[in-house]
Amino acid sequence: METVRITVRLPLHLVNAVDALTGIGAYTTRSEVVRHALVDFIEKHSDEIRDMVEKIKKVQEIKATVSEIEEYAKK
């Protein structure tokens, strides 16, 4: 799996929690904690994300239809 480095700013209490997880050996690195948290978040919210994407697609389709109707009405 290819990885990409990103920079994230976190409140100190979250950094301390991440460091505590690595300190007790639950994870080997901070990156591992963040990756796990993101995967967990995406899995838990995937239905909501999918619904939002579908709504956005519908809005875009409606806008395209309205544009077509407006162009037709101008003729």
The pLDDT tens digits of the residues spanning 23-38 come to: 999 999 999 999 999 9
Give the separation between CA 65 and CA 50, rounded to whole angstroms.
23
Query: What pLDDT, on a 0 to 100 scale, did the predictor assign at position 74?
Result: 80
Query: What pLDDT, on a 0 to 100 scale, did the predictor assign at position 70?
Result: 87
Asked, for residue 6, whether it belongs to a domain, the answer is no
Sequence-distant (6+) residues with CB within 8 A of 19 are 30
Q: What is the pTM of this model?
A: 0.62
The domain in which residue 26 lies consists of 12-74
Asked, for residue 54, whether it belongs to a domain, the answer is yes
Number of domains forming the structure of the chain: 1
Burial of 59 (0-12, 13-18, 19+ CB in 10 A): exposed
Asked, for residue 28, whether it belongs to a domain, the answer is yes
Find the mean pLDDT for residues 50-57. Answer: 93
Query: What pLDDT, on a 0 to 100 scale, did the predictor assign at position 10?
Result: 97
Asked, for residue 1, whether it belongs to a domain, the answer is no
Asked, for residue 29, whether it belongs to a domain, the answer is yes
Asked, for residue 49, whether it belongs to a domain, the answer is yes
